[in-house]
């Protein structure tokens, strides 16, 4: 498998706080989910990999280019599509103008080809019909798709998406999943999210980040497998469980170290994630 992004020992500090603390990872084609609690350093990692901020220590390459050098940074940026956590828009631009503007900033200089590409990505995110509408007249979900189209324009080899489904209604989230899945068919997508179900449904790989460190790298199945034999059903929340909650059928789902004779349940990716987080002070676990 080709390595598209390779990072070694990335460290980023904001004042005295380490947002990233020696993060190393490798990303291959497909969709990689980046999971972690608030403050885990997900956005910081994405911003570093998107070349928005340079790391204080460590190095990384994107498609073989080293962003630490001006030429390498330019080459990396040409290969990059970035959708930040709260993307801005130019409300007076039409959807077409906004994506065209971004395409120009990506230095797509053949005007006819660029316009074809803008139309293509707008069609891809289902905005072909409203491309002439001003962004201020579009719904929140449509604006998010305009931002995704802007990230996709120019067919970047590496797509960085920071919680793109936040604030979307279920239908829009499903549509977004489809779009991200399509995008991941022929490029490397790094998707930061709080939603374990997004990862379960979309991602071929998953990285769990907590306190600026990588705690897990592997496939969603491998993360799920972390919870094998660690999830059980009971009539109450087990005091020894790491987590437990009442489910819809009235029984309790407990995650942790089951007591002898407990009725074990099929684990989910969320269970695995919870358990990985629970061991976050341990050394990094790599399933692969």
Q: Which is nearer to another protein, 125 or 231 (CB)?
A: 125
CB of 247 to another protein, least distance (A): 37
CA gap 284, 288 in Å, rounded: 12
CB atoms within 10 A of CB 33: 26
Question: Does residue 219 belong to the site contacting another protein (CB under 8 A)?
Answer: no
Question: Does residue 228 belong to the site contacting another protein (CB under 8 A)?
Answer: no
CB of 211 to another protein, least distance (A): 24
| Radius of gyration of the chain measured on its C-alpha atoms | 21
Q: Which is nearer to another protein, 143 or 230 (CB)?
A: 143
Q: Which of 36, 84, 212, 256 touches another protein by CB under 8 A?
A: 84
Question: Does residue 29 belong to the site contacting another protein (CB under 8 A)?
Answer: yes
Q: Which is nearer to another protein, 13 or 89 (CB)?
A: 89
CA gap 277, 269 in Å, rounded: 12
Tokens of 245: 């909650």
Q: Which of 1, 112, 260, 288 touches another protein by CB under 8 A?
A: 1
CA gap 251, 169 in Å, rounded: 29
- Name which of residues 254 to 273 contact another protein (CB under 8 A): none
x-or-dash pattern for another protein, window 115-154, by CB under 8 A?
A: --------------------------------x--xx---
CA gap 73, 93 in Å, rounded: 29
Q: Which is nearer to another protein, 219 or 279 (CB)?
A: 219
- Distance spanning both ends of the chain, measured CA to CA: 13
- List of E strands, the chain: 5-14, 17-27, 30-35, 57-62, 80-83, 158-162, 188-193, 205-210, 213-218, 231-234, 241-246, 252-256, 263-264, 285-286
Q: Which of 14, 17, 39, 52 touches another protein by CB under 8 A?
A: 52
Question: Does residue 104 belong to the site contacting another protein (CB under 8 A)?
Answer: yes
Q: Which of 15, 16, 38, 88 touches another protein by CB under 8 A?
A: 88
Question: Does residue 108 belong to the site contacting another protein (CB under 8 A)?
Answer: yes
Q: Which of 7, 79, 223, 255 touches another protein by CB under 8 A?
A: 79
| DSSP 3-state percent helix, strand, coil across the chain (nearest 5) | 35, 30, 40
Question: Does residue 90 belong to the site contacting another protein (CB under 8 A)?
Answer: yes
CA gap 163, 91 in Å, rounded: 21
Does residue 180 contact residue 169 with C-beta atoms inside 8 Å? Answer: no
Question: Does residue 227 belong to the site contacting another protein (CB under 8 A)?
Answer: no
CA distances from 171 to 42, 82, 174, 207, 257 (A): 25, 23, 5, 26, 37
Question: Does residue 50 belong to the site contacting another protein (CB under 8 A)?
Answer: yes
Question: Does residue 101 belong to the site contacting another protein (CB under 8 A)?
Answer: yes
Contact residues toward another protein (CB under 8 A) are: 1-2, 4, 28-30, 47, 50-52, 63-65, 74-75, 77-80, 82-84, 86-92, 100-102, 104-109, 111, 147, 150-151, 157, 185-188
């Amino acid at each position: 498998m080709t390595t598209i992004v390779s990072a070694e020992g990335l460290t980023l500090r904001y004042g005295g706080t380490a947002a990233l603390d020696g993060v190393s990872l490798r990303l291959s084609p497909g969709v990689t989910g980046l999971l972690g609690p608030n403050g885990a350093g997900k956005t910081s990692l994405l911003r570093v990999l998107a070349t928005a901020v340079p790391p204080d220590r460590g190095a990384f390459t994107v498609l073989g280019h080293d962003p630490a050098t001006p030429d390498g940074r330019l080459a990396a940026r040409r290969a990059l599509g970035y959708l930040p956590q709260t993307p801005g828009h130019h409300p007076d631009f039409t959807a077409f103008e906004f994506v065209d503007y971004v395409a120009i900033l990506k230095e797509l200089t053949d005007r006819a080809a660029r316009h074809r590409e803008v139309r293509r990505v707008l069609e891809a995110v289902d905005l072909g019909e409203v491309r002439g509408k001003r962004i201020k007249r579009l719904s929140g979900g449509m604006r998010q798709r305009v931002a995704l189209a802007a990230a996709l324009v120019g067919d970047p080899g590496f797509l960085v998406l920071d919680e793109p489904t936040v604030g979307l209604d279920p239908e829009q989230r499903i549509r977004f999943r489809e779009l991200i899945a399509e995008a991941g068919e022929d490029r490397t997508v790094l998707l930061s999210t709080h939603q374990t179900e997004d990862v379960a449904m979309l991602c071929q790989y998953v990285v769990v980040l907590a306190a600026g460190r990588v705690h897990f790298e592997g496939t969603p199945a491998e993360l799920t497998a972390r919870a094998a034999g660690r999830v059980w059903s009971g009539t109450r929340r087990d005091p020894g469980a790491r987590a437990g909650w009442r489910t819809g059928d009235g029984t309790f789902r407990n995650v942790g170290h089951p007591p002898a004779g407990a009725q074990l349940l099929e684990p989910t990716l969320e269970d695995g994630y919870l358990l990985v987080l629970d061991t976050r002070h341990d050394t990094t676990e790599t399933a692969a």
